[in-house]
Each structure stands twice: as structure tokens, then as C-alpha cells.
Amino acid sequence: MNKGEAVNRPEPSTSGALPAALPAPSCEGPMLVGYSGGLDSTVLLHLLAQSDQMRRRGLRALHVHHGLHADADEWARHCIDLCRELDVPIDVVRVAVAGDTGDGLEAAARDARHAAFAECLGEGAILALAHHRDDQAETFLLRALRASGPDGLGAMRAWRRFGRGWMWRPLLELPRQALLAHARAHGLRWIEDPSNADDAHDRNFLRNKVMPLLQARWPHAGAAFAQAAGLQREASALLEEMDAQALAMVRTVDPRCLHVASLAALPAPRRARVLRRWVAETGLPPLPARAIAELAPLLAAGPNPRGEFAWSGAAIRRWRGLLYAGLRPPPPDTAPRYWDGRAALHWSGGELSLTPPGPAGEPRDAITPRFVVRSRQGGERITLPGRRHSHALKHVLQDLGVPPWSRERLPLLFDPEGELLAAGDLVLSARFDAWSRNTGRRLSWRG
């Protein structure tokens, strides 16, 4: 290694070693170890590699190469070499760490690492991570400093769903000192990341400055914080049962929608928890701290207030007494487009198509007219099948229950003379409906 002694080679010691066997995980499945090359993950990999049962599960290691340090390539080679010694297969995955997320480089690296873990984790597989009791204490303190509630103060769970499988932290009840003793007892080699000494990172500041000071006065501070996190998880589990019941009471048939009146009737603390649980279940980014206060106008009584709360590419909107949650799509297309229907037309993040496509050898205008596709501008009218007079498109879409934000993204189909033929595949004019039946062509809009 260059640039100093980046790999520790301690003298063997026999004091304070960990038990040779770890408790079995809660389910069967292939075992993937997140292996950074540091002390913690080196001990975890060593313990798992000693287990015949884990090897029968298909024990593998995964090293995420962030490329953030000059010695990152050397660290990856160190991990490969140690895995070769332990006879454990290893994959090295390179990731690009976003530098402009607003949450700092440490958080961006963690997000990139977790994305790589999720991508590599097979169906029902188990990702083993080496977080220990000291990490748990630090996480508890960090969450407390962010004014987290019981869910956040519960810190890390030893076992939870992750990606297509599970995340397992078998060392979470053990102090780092026990891991260090085990590494020394077995002569293990590990990497010391110089960034761990940088107190500019909040976690490093707690680890290097705050925790030693607390433990000098209260030697069991780390264990106490970890135990407090466990108590918060127990309280959170009780709350979650009632949250699930409350969410079921305010749901609609569409899991992305809630009844505003039923939600507003809940006590404010329960309502906040239900909103966070709902958003989590829809797979959207977690609600930020300001969300509950800023969502209050959308829940207000009165003549159907409208508006939205947006965050991290997602949005919650209200319309007709319902809250809708979803990702915010890109801006709708506005420039008119000519379309002959032979190939799918990409429009406002969706796709407009006529199926089946016309025969390739037919003249362009033999079976398909030329269409003009554009977005709504207001004032459009359409003559529906079985009707003699035209209707305002706005009223037709309102009667169908199409929310305003969906209406603005609908592709409107016109003939070259400007007659409105269709709004997506939701509304067809009498003329277009007859043409569709006569030709066997069907309009489809996936938006």
C-alpha cells in the first residue's frame, strides 16, 4: 500500500475473542456479505466463512468501489486477496457517487452503496452487514439530534426487508471492542479509511469526540443508548399496529389515494404517522420533516381546496375529497406533432399507439389518416358516440373523474382540419369510434 499504512497487521492476541458461531438468520437464502475491507466487515466475513452452513447457502462477498479515495483500487485488491485466502467468492462493483444531493458526500456514498447492494441481491437472498453496538449508539444520538420520533430513534434493526430479499445485522448487540479483540486474536488484516478521522462528518465527530467524553463519565453510555434504541423499536412496533388499522380506515380502492375527510378526523399525531406509512407503502421517498405542517392546507375543510406538496421528485395532491400520491412526471409536451399511427408516439413521458399497426407495404394514406397531436389549451369540444351535439372536453373529463394533473398530460388527437377525435384513449369522438370499428384499429395511451 502507498500513502502510509492503510492495512492493519496486528499481532495475534487471545483476549476477548467473539464466539466462533453467529446466531442463524431468520430465514433461508443465499448469503451476501457487504465487505468494505474495514475492521467490522472483515470480522463478519471471517465469522461467516468459518460456518459450513453459510458456505452451503452460497456465501459471497460484495465490495463497493466508490472511487472517492486515491487508494480505492488498492482497497479493492486487498478485499479480493483476503477473500481468496478465505475461499469466498467476491464481486467488486464500481459506483458513481452523486456530489450534489444536498445531504453531503457521506450520505451520497451510502445511497450509492445501498443501491448497489439492492441491485446485486437476488430474490430471497440475505445481505449481511457488520454494524455493531457502537454504530447503533451513534445512530441513536444522530437521530435524537434531528428530533426524530420513535421510528427514527429505534435506529437500526437487526433484521428487515431490503430490495428483493433481507438485510441482516448479526453483530448489532456486540461492541466494537469485541470485534477488535477477535481480529487481533485471529491475526486478521483490515483497511483503515483515513476519512474516519475527519471530524467534519457528524458520525465521526460523535465517534471521535463525543462518545469518548461520555464514556469517561458513564462507561456504559454506548450500551445504554443502544438499549434505548431497542425500547424505541418496541414502542414503534406497538404504534405500527394501530397505524395499519388507521390507514385501512382512510384508504380507497386505489392504494395511491386516501379519503381526506377520514384522514382529517384522525388525531394529529396519528394522522402524521398514517401519512408517513402511506407514503412508504407507495414506494415514494420518505416525507421530509416539514411535510406534515405543509400538508395541513390540503386537509382543510371547505370548498374542496386544491394544491400539492412536492418533495424529492414526488408529490401529494388533493382533488374531489381525495389525496393522491405519486412521482412527479416531467413537464408535459406542448408543441403539436404530426402522427400517422404507424409507430408509437412518445408524448409527455407516455406512449400513444394504434394497434395493430398497418401493413408495411400499404400506401401511407391507404388505411391511416394524418393526425395532429397536441396538449389541451382550453375550450376543446368533442362529439361523443351516440350524441348529436358536441360537449366541452373539460366537462367530459371531469365526469370521468380524471384529475387535473392527468388531463394536462393527455394527448389530444385532431384531424388536419382541427376536429377533435380523441383525448388519449379515454374519450373517442363519434367519427373516430366509427373509424376504429371499421378498420379494427385501437387507440392506446400509456401515460
- Binding residue numbers for ATP: 36-41
Q: How far is CA 69 from the centre of its chain?
A: 27
C-alpha span between 398 and 304 (Å, rounded): 14
C-alpha span between 36 and 190 (Å, rounded): 9
Point out the annotated binding site: 36-41
User: CA 371 → CA 408, 425, 432, distances in Å?
Assistant: 19, 14, 11
Phi, psi (5° rounding) for residue 217? Answer: -95, -40
C-alpha span between 132 and 365 (Å, rounded): 70
C-alpha span between 131 and 44 (Å, rounded): 9
Q: What is the residue-wise DSSP string for 40-83? A: HHHHHHHHHHT-HHHHHTT-EEEEEE---STTHHHHHHHHHHHH
Q: What is the length of the chain?
A: 447
C-alpha span between 427 and 433 (Å, rounded): 9
C-alpha span between 191 and 79 (Å, rounded): 9
Contact 289, 297 (CB under 8 A): no
C-alpha span between 220 and 123 (Å, rounded): 40
Question: Cell numbers 500513502 correspond to what residue?
Answer: 3
